[in-house]
């Protein structure tokens, strides 16, 4: 009887850990309205734009997403959701408009930046910088 209780407890513990790991590791879908996803980036991606975006990244984003965009910033471990690894195809394949929308609006642990970065051009510069974060 005692072995049965230990076995059942062990199985339940493994199932709970698997569920927790799966829940943490699997980001939930983040739908972007079609009109936002189709927005074209009006800011040319050049050295000036990328430099401005990098400065904003270092100020607002790197604490969670990390200096190189790997999702390993100093605050990442404190969050309920794992910050997006911006170097992955799942991020890089999104449209500029989708990235703009997500930066502006935020969700869960990802804050909205429309007040902290009120100029649309600055958010577009940030999008241009994100495009440089590739493995």
38-89 pLDDT tens trace: 999 999 999 999 999 999 999 999 999 999 999 999 999 999 999 999 999 9
Find the length of the chain.
135
Domain 30-130 of CATH type 3.40.50.1860: no
Q: How far is CA 133 from CA 18, 78, 91, 92, 119, in A?
A: 31, 23, 10, 8, 22
The rounded distance, in Å, linking the Cα atoms of 79 and 51 is 28
15-42 pLDDT tens trace: 555 555 444 455 689 999 999 999 999 9
| Nearest partner of 103 among 39, 26, 23, 24, judged by Cα | 39
Model's pTM, two decimal places? 0.80
- Neighbour-count burial for 65-78, b at 16+ CB within 10 Å, e otherwise: bbeebbbbbeebee
């Amino acid at each position: 009887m005692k072995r049965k209780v230990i076995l059942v407890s062990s199985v339940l513990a493994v199932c709970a850990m698997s569920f927790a790991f799966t829940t943490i590791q699997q980001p939930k879908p983040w739908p972007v309205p079609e009109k936002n996803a189709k927005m074209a980036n009006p800011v040319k991606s050049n050295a000036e734009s990328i430099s401005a975006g990098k400065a904003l990244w270092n100020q607002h984003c790197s604490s969670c997403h990390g200096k190189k965009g790997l999702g390993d910033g100093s605050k990442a471990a404190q969050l309920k959701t794992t910050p997006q690894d911006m170097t992955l195809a799942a991020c890089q394949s999104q449209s500029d408009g989708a990235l703009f929308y997500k930066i502006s609006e935020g969700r869960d642990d990802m804050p909205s930046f429309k007040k902290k970065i009120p100029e649309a051009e600055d958010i577009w510069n940030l999008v241009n910088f994100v495009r440089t974060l590739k493995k």
